[in-house]
Amino acid sequence: MKKFVLSLLGVLLIGVLAGYGLSWLLQQPGKKQQEVKVAVQEELPGREVLLYFTDPSGAYLVPEYRDIAGCELESDCVRGLIQELIAGPRQGGIAVLPKETKVLDVGIENDLVRVDFSRQLVDLHPGGSLTELLTVYSLANSLNENFPYLRQLQILVDGQIRQTLKGHVRIDQPVYANFSFGQPPELGGEAPAAAEKGELSIDQLIQDAESGKGKSQ
C-alpha cells in the first residue's frame, strides 16, 4: 500500500512538473522573424537645364539643353549643372572646362554662388584671352540662365581666389552673366543690345575682362 501511494505521488508530481513545463513553454514568445527594413529613397524628378559651350570654331558660346539628376539642395543642383559642363557638349561644340576638373565645394549666399574647383581647372586649361573668357562666361551664363537669382559667380581654385584664370581674364572679383558672348547675329543668333548700339566687339570684351571691367553686368 505504501509503495502504491508513493508511486501515485510520483506520477502526480511528474504530471504537475510536466504541466508547469508545458505552460512555461507556451508563455514564451515565439521566435520572431527578423524584420528587414529596406530604406526606400524617394527619387527626385530630374530637371532640364540650358548649358553654354563653345561653338566648333571656338569664337562664341552656343546653348545646349541637358537633363540633370534631381536634387533637393540648391548647392547640389548647382554642382550637378557644373558637372555637366565638365562632361562637355554632345552636339559638336567644344568643352569649356577640362574634363579632369573636380568641383570641390559650392557655397551660396544670397545672389552669390562660390564654386571651388580643383587645380586641374587651371593646369589643364589651354589659356588665351578668348578661351578664358568663354570658360568664365559659360559658367556665369549657365548658372544665371537656370538659377536667375544667382547673379554673381565667384570662382575659386583649391579654396583660393586667383587674380586671373590663366593669365588673362580676371576672376578675383565676382563675375556677372554676360550674354554678349552668344552666337553672333549674322550666324542666326539674336542680336544683343550692345551690338545694336555698335558697341559689341570681341576685342573690346577681352580688354574689358583683362582690366576687370567685365565683372559688372
Residue with the bigger pLDDT between 174 and 14: it is: 174
Q: What is the pLDDT of residue 140?
A: 97
pLDDT on residue 193: 40
Residue 194, pLDDT above cutoff 90: no
Compute the distance between CA of residue 65 and CA of residue 68 in angstroms, rounded to an integer. Answer: 10
Prediction pTM value: 0.70
Q: Where are the beta strands (DSSP E) in the chain?
A: 47-54, 61-68, 103-109, 112-117, 152-157, 160-161, 175-176
Distance CA(170)–CA(207), nearest Å, equals: 11
The packing angle between helices 202-211 and 129-146, to 10°, is 90
**Which residue has cell 507556451?**
26
Categorize the per-residue pLDDT at 80 as very low, low, confident or very high, splitting at 50, 70 and 90: very high
Nearest residue to 154 via CA among 175, 138, 169: 175
61 pLDDT band, cuts 50/70/90, is: very high
Among 172, 163, 157, which Cα is nearest to 118's?
Answer: 157
Distance CA 61, CA 102 (A): 22
pLDDT for 195: 37
Distance separating the N- and C-terminal Cα atoms of the chain: 117
